[in-house]
Chains A and B, each alone.
Chain A
Amino acid sequence: MTEIPEAFSFSHTKQPSGGVHDGVVTDVLCPFCGCLCDDIKVTVTAGTITGVENACTLGAQKFLADTGRLPKPIRRDEDGWHEISYDEAIEYCVEILKNANRPLLYGWSSSLTEAQAIGVHIAELIGGVIDSTSTVCHGPSILAIQEVGHPGCTLGQVKNRADVIVYWGANPTDAHPRHMSRYSTYVDAYFMHNSFRDRKIIVVDVRRTATADIADEFLQITPGGDYALASALRAIVRGRDDVVPAEVSGISKVQMMQVAEMLKNAKFGAVFFGLGVAMTRGKYKNVRNAIELVDELNRFTKCTITAMRGHWNVYGSNEVFTWISGYPYGIDYSRGIAYYNPGETTSADLLARREVDAAVIVGSDVGAHFPRACCEHLASIPTVLIDPYPSATTHLSTVQIPTAVNGIDAEPGTAYRMDGIPLQTRQVLPCTTHFTDYEIFSRIYARLKEEKGA
């Protein structure tokens, strides 16, 4: 529950809570991707997870290969890393944020909405920037939605109705392995007798992926050809195939006509798109064109489009940031109001311009994913990483504060699925040694309020 309490009472040592030491926990939310599968069964033996049912390989690994956690907060000085207490780590964080002119709070997609909400309030209090992993992920998709809107639906709607499913620039077999069996291709449908046989699958990608192998129609486009293909399909759907050349983006007109016909004749079409659309040349314009194709199809039949959100609760970060600040990511509070201008107020841009003078990275591996110039700048300023595990970002940081893992040993809280459905996590293991990110940010916020006299 994303309430901002006016006062917190703290314990300086973690109070053990919840979870099981031995037993089976059912209907657990998977803590991995934006599918947020909530039917996971986890077996715990002597305080260790020993069995995971229903999860995909990625999800199961998240539970079973939960090793190598950082036991205590660490701080780097001239002699290398040293363990410090949570109190010291939190004070360090307060100190650098209080003294910063251009603080950046980045990450948030592995956090519960409860922690995300406090993050926004911290950013507001210190006049900082808060940004989520959307900025390097489906950020362009959000920009497209801000231009043309978003005809979408919940995943259960696809499950029960969709007879034509498109995966465009997305490879769920590898990236969202249960997406097809739980929400689309393979799952039972209310309105179909034999849903697996009755559904048609269209895959658009630059290479023959494992998902392409099960497609009824595979459109192997030339890299960067997404925009042109969407335009051609829009023209055909509008009855203007006369303007479409014999081949577009490596796809023959014959195949495009066939695909357009399948989409128009669908009872319910569902388009899922990934970063293959949003993060290739053209970026948000590609997504805009795909959305407008779906708009066009709705004049003939029902069609929806959904982004394959990757990072667990990334959609929650967009939702929470929006209801508090008005904007889904890249929010700059330095002038007292909430200001949003992707390209200016987004993390990579701020870091590349070397504006940031203190950073808190939460649950995200900037070191592995950001451009070199951004990483170099992070390494030159006070940077706190709040993350259960050491990562490439650890090497850029001055302090790392480990947390309980949300969805495994952290106390229950809220996460949003890729289609906007909010669910509450279940706590599988008792939380005995690590504070949650919610607790850590609550303390940081309370301390900063004291420091600022707010």
Chain B
Amino acid sequence: MMHDATIHPSALSDILIKNAYLVDPIQGISGERVDLCVSNGVIVDAVSEHAIVIDADGALTLAGGIDSHTHVCGTKVNFGRYMSPEDMRAGRTARRGVMYPTSGYTVPTTYGNSYRYSKMGYTTLLEGAMAPLEARHTHEEFAATPLQDMAANALFDGNWNLFEAAQQHDYRQAAAVIAWVLRAVKGFGVKLTNPGGSEAWGFGDDLASLDESVPHWDVTPREIIDTTIKANEYLDLPHSVHLHCNNLGMPGNYTTTLETMDIPSALNDRRQTLYMTHIQYHSYGGSTWRTFRSESLAIANAVHNHPHICVDMGQVMFGRTMTMTADGPMEFRLYTLHHNKWSNHDVELETGSGVIPVYYDRKNLVNSIMWAIGLEMALLIKNPWQCLLTTDNPNGAPFVKYPEIIALLMSAAYRDEQIATVHPSLGKRAPLPTLDRELSFEEIAVMTRAGQARALGLIEEGKGHLSLDAAADIAIYPIWPESMDPAAEYEDIISGFSQTLYTIKDGVIVCRDGKVVQKIENKTFWSDAYVPPQYDVEKNPRFVEMFDRFYSVQFRNYAVQDEYVRRGHPLVRTGKWDTEGGG
């Protein structure tokens, strides 16, 4: 199968962006006019006289957006599409120039995701959950999401080989398993979704606490989380363990979340030691749906006391959306509440998953509290580097709602206007109406790109900032910070963040005024972590036996071939094997 590389006309041209109002927290630039020079896909200090000149005229200019937790590609995402022709009809567009037709509103087709993210200035996406056994599917969809660089977290929450290492608290063995799987499936990070719970769901059960043993396995979620974090840091992976806590969505689950935060000590000085995703879903008080309340204050305080933890919001926005997660038992509980169509897909020896459409109703008290909690987390957590902006797309809302969330965070007036439309008892159950913090452009830049770049370990890859030699991933928004008050002009914030003037990816103008103008090819980040020969799991008879006897595919057919990651970008790590005498 032969291919010629795409030739990008603008890739051959230098670009000079004059009068950019640059906000770049990684460089410590909180808003000043600069000229940006782009050549050969990166930021340089001077361009040729033939450069394309863009006069930004003081428009807000940021590094390309990064989504550190989104569901856009792979088995369960595609199942969301497959089972929902009504959603496909809700968001269709025809071919326009180089843009293919798209379908879908909450779960758009791959090109739909790519175009809409690009229009919002996003250039890098982390698929939050990939079942290793089905990795080829994720990579096939990555190739059809061309305007963003991609990476996938591989799921380990029900991995039998990891369980056996965790039983022994053997983080070196766990590291060997993790490194092997990441290389085999071209995964980027380590995802734990309801650790142990997805295995229990194999027989229709779930786990209620961190110290309950996984049925048949004599290992607890606490041991799984602890061992995995130590293994992750031992391998020195770019990203930390990416955790979806146990008991998601249960009233009173905030205690589990607080206990989880106490598991790791700080093990990494470049970034967090633990990334806790969609924190909104894990910050619930009360003991039933009737007594359901926000515990955002307790969680935010704990985040302050654990500077080695980073969370993302998992913001809920009102309206129809699709939930999808590897947390199979949670989806079944949701099904028993909503009686909507329910899909489930357990993956042997590895994980589970579920998909169910939901409608978040602003007149419903529980939904109103959920909406409030996400915003409360972002407003209560003082350090924006510790709380990133997500909706757990599409679980809380489709990502096209991000501009509204930004406006809610930047404008107390807009929040008050919205609070007036939700359930009137909100204030008795959630502190949101009492919060008056309004985030700055700099804080928003942290929460939508700089913080993600740090959390994912991609600053060194030139992501999330526009320093010299950084990737020329640039978003120029029709927002003029020098002459506007975002707290008052929140409508302009929403429209401004919804559609860039220019989105530039690797030095190529890919999207202009909402229209994709150039086809490009993306790359896929994956983690290539060293393991010494004596820890090579392929020589471990128990590991091989697991495959031969209990998987339903052959060992030799498991690993994803190079064809699936044609523009794979391995992040090579040597780990701590030598320094700690492990190898």
Are B78 and A421 in contact, with the CB atoms below 8 A? no
Are A421 and B3 in contact, with the CB atoms below 8 A? no
Using CB atoms, name the residue of chain A closest to B91: A326
**CB-CB contacts below 8 Å: B101-157 with A:** 101-104, 109-111, 133-134, 136-137, 139-141, 143-144
Kindly list chain B residues whose C-beta atoms are within 8 Å of the C-beta of A10.
2
Are A9 and B344 in contact, with the CB atoms below 8 A? no
By CB atoms of chain A within 10 A, which of B79, B216, B348 has the most?
B348
Taking a contact as CB atoms closer than 8 A, the residue among A150, A157, A421 that contacts B553 in the complex is: A421
Are B549 and A188 in contact, with the CB atoms below 8 A? yes
Kindly list chain B residues whose C-beta atoms are within 8 Å of the C-beta of A6.
4, 6, 519
Residue A344 at the B interface, CB < 8 A? no
Are B348 and A1 in contact, with the CB atoms below 8 A? no
**CB-CB contacts below 8 Å: B540-581 with A:** 549-554, 556-557, 561, 563-564, 566
**CB-CB contacts below 8 Å: A294-310 with B:** 295, 298-299, 301-302, 304
Are B202 and A154 in contact, with the CB atoms below 8 A? no
By secondary structure, the B interface counts as mixed
Kindly list chain A residues whose C-beta atoms are within 8 Å of the C-beta of B110.
323-324
In angstroms, Cα B564 to Cα A335, docked, is 33
Kindly list chain B residues whose C-beta atoms are within 8 Å of the C-beta of A26.
556
Are B100 and A124 in contact, with the CB atoms below 8 A? yes
Q: Nearest Cβ distance between residue B278 and chain A, in whole angstroms?
A: 22
Are A8 and B109 in contact, with the CB atoms below 8 A? no
Interface string of B322-363 (1 = CB under 8 A from A): 000000000010011000111111111100000110000000
Residue B88 at the A interface, CB < 8 A? yes
Residue A420 at the B interface, CB < 8 A? yes
Q: Nearest Cβ distance between residue A195 and chain B, in whole angstroms?
A: 11
Kindly list chain B residues whose C-beta atoms are within 8 Å of the C-beta of A438.
1
Kindly list chain A residues whose C-beta atoms are within 8 Å of the C-beta of B216.
191
A3-B143, A337-B103, A422-B140 in contact; A298/B204 too (CB < 8 A)?
yes
Q: Nearest Cβ distance between residue B123 and chain A, in whole angstroms?
A: 19
By CB atoms of chain A within 10 A, which of B137, B336, B519 has the most?
B137
Are B336 and A322 in contact, with the CB atoms below 8 A? no
A1-B566, A3-B144, A188-B549 in contact; A323/B78 too (CB < 8 A)?
yes
Are A161 and B139 in contact, with the CB atoms below 8 A? no
Residue B81 at the A interface, CB < 8 A? yes
Using CB atoms, name the residue of chain B closest to A15: B2
Q: Nearest Cβ distance between residue A77 and chain B, in whole angstroms?
A: 33
Interface string of B529-542 (1 = CB under 8 A from A): 00000000000000
Taking a contact as CB atoms closer than 8 A, the residue among A153, A190, A299 that contacts B336 in the complex is: A299
Using CB atoms, name the residue of chain A closest to B519: A6
In angstroms, Cα B109 to Cα A325, docked, is 7
**CB-CB contacts below 8 Å: A360-416 with B:** 411-412, 414, 416
Q: List 23 A-B contacts (CB under 8 A).
A: A4-B144, A8-B2, A124-B100, A149-B341, A150-B345, A152-B346, A154-B348, A155-B348, A160-B550, A182-B552, A299-B336, A323-B78, A323-B81, A323-B141, A326-B81, A326-B88, A328-B82, A337-B101, A338-B88, A414-B140, A420-B79, A422-B140, A423-B553
Q: Which chain B residues have a beta carbon within 8 Å of chain A's beta carbons?
A: 1-4, 6, 73, 75, 78-79, 81-85, 88, 92-95, 100-104, 109-111, 133-134, 136-137, 139-141, 143-144, 201-204, 216, 332, 335-336, 340-349, 355-356, 519, 549-554, 556-557, 561, 563-564, 566
The 7 closest A-B pairs by CB, nearest first: A326-B103, A156-B348, A156-B552, A302-B204, A326-B88, A149-B341, A336-B94
Q: Which chain A residues have a beta carbon within 8 Å of chain B's beta carbons?
A: 1-10, 26-27, 29, 38-39, 113-114, 117, 121, 124, 142, 145-157, 159-161, 182-183, 188, 190-191, 267-268, 295, 298-299, 301-302, 304, 318-320, 322-328, 333, 335-338, 340, 411-412, 414, 416, 420-424, 438-439
